């Protein structure tokens, strides 16, 4: 049974700056009113990355704004959030990041049923010429679509 996924935040910069090699799904450990804030769409993944410390996976730079109707117990917006994955998956990711020179980045934050999940990606950085090539390919595809649309009228 597949759950409905409601996208709450997206890291578009990661798709622009990196080649995405593999994708993973992880749960996010949130505190107090952070869940309400995330459900309200007050989360940002810009400049966020993942790091493995002590056999646990953390998302650093994942900003969740304090809940407006919250109280003094609102959590720090930039605290590292622990991500929930199996130990063997975490070890596999740690090995890939340390040996291959890859980065582990969150691509999206979404609701899967009642749970807040994050989509992680094992990424390799793009060079400037790679970015230009991707942009040229995208522009060419857009131009072809435009031509096909005009011909079909």
Predicted confidence (pLDDT) per residue in 59-69, tens digit? 998 988 888 88
What is the residue whose two structure tokens read 């980045």? Answer: 105
Question: Is 24 in contact with 121 (CB distance < 8 Å)?
Answer: yes
Domain boundaries, the chain: 5-126
Rounded-to-integer distance, Cα 132 and Cα 143, Å: 16
Q: Which fold has domain 5-126?
A: Small Protein B; Chain: A; (2.40.280)
CA–CA gap between residue 93 and residue 53 (Å, rounded):
12
Q: What is the pTM of this model?
A: 0.78
User: pLDDT tens digits for 33-50?
Assistant: 888 888 888 888 988 999
Residue 3's pLDDT is 62
Q: Using the predicted structure, report yes or no on whether residue 132 has a pLDDT greater than 70.
A: yes
Minimum mean pLDDT among 1-10, 13-22, 129-138: which range? Answer: 1-10
């Amino acid at each position: 049974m597949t759950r409905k996924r409601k996208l709450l935040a997206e890291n578009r910069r990661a798709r622009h700056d990196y080649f995405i090699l593999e994708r993973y799904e992880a749960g996010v450990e949130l505190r107090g009113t952070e869940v309400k804030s995330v459900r309200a769409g007050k989360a940002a993944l810009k400049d966020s990355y993942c790091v493995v410390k002590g056999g646990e996976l953390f998302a650093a730079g994942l900003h969740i704004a304090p809940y407006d109707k919250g109280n003094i117990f609102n959590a720090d917006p930039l605290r590292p959030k622990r991500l929930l994955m199996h130990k063997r998956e975490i070890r596999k990711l740690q090995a890939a990041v340390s040996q291959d020179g890859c980065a582990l980045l969150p691509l999206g934050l979404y609701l899967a049923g009642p749970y807040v999940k994050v989509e992680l990606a094992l990424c390799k950085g793009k060079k400037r010429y790679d970015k230009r090539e991707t942009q040229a390919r995208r522009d060419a595809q857009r131009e072809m679509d435009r031509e096909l649309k005009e011909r079909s009228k």
